[in-house]
Amino acid sequence: MGLWSNILARFRLMTHDSQPMTAFLLIGLGNPGTRYAHNRHNIGFMAIDAIAAKYGFPKWSQKFQGHIAEGKIGTHKVFLLKPQTFMNLSGESAGTLARFYKIPLENIIVFHDELDLPLAKIRVKCGGGHGGHNGLKSLDAHLGADYWRVRMGIGHPGDKDMVSPHVLSDFIREEVPAVEKLCTSVAKHIDVLLLRDDAGFMNKITLDMKE
């Protein structure tokens, strides 16, 4: 990017008194294109889309090998990112954006599918291993491991040989309402997670899912 692009980027992260405003980066993991749009592997994209809709983020732009939207949630400057590199190269997009805007790892939250959780269940943790998830593996390589992970359950097919076709298949009709409800709840309560209240965030979502 050119000199003026760098200057404008830095300016957007300044408050009215010219003190730097720390931004958050929310990343949804998935594969680009309509072919994969409703796959279980793309639940991270679905969560990010729900957040963008809830908070009226402007139109997506294409930068840093991803689809990006910039806006505010409460008093926080927030970047939403859907990498367009395919899952196993997600870190290339995320790493470039995070370094350009100097976003610290503790302000990065990643939404991804989780085989080891039942459908529409959720868990949040900071740091940890990638568990064989190619998107997380790429993020770890380009960012480090100490970012926040929102694990969104898609269920396990019961046979390790069926994992790939399972994650790359669409949610069936009976599953869609629970997935949509989960994404809506994530968007509704994301402001709680930005305050690093992961327990409060999970509790609110659990209550929503019981209604």
Tens digits of residue pLDDT in 162-203: 999 999 999 999 999 999 999 999 999 999 999 999 999 999
Report yes or no on 18 lying in a domain: no
Hey, how many other C-beta atoms are within 10 angstroms of the C-beta on 150?
25
**Which residue numbers are catalytic?**
41
d(CA 159, CA 168) in angstroms, rounded, equals 15
Report yes or no on 175 lying in a domain: yes
Hey, how many other C-beta atoms are within 10 angstroms of the C-beta on 199?
10
Band of residue 33 on the pLDDT scale cut at 50, 70, 90: very high
Q: CA-based angle 67:182:94, to the nearest 5?
A: 25
Report yes or no on 8 lying in a domain: no
**Locus of tokens 């729900």:** 50
Number of domains in the chain: 1
Alpha-carbon separation of residue 109 from 47, 60, 157, 194, 198 (angstroms):
12, 19, 27, 9, 11
Report yes or no on 52 lying in a domain: yes
The CATH number of whichever domain residue 40 belongs to comes to 3.40.50.1470
pLDDT of the residue at 9: 53
pLDDT at residue 19 is higher than 60: no
Report yes or no on 4 lying in a domain: no
d(CA 200, CA 33) in angstroms, rounded, equals 34
Q: Which residues pair with 181 in a beta bridge?
A: none
| Residue-number span of the structural domain to which 202 is assigned | 32-210
Report yes or no on 24 lying in a domain: no
Report yes or no on 7 lying in a domain: no
Report yes or no on 59 lying in a domain: yes
pLDDT of the residue at 44: 98
Band of residue 38 on the pLDDT scale cut at 50, 70, 90: very high
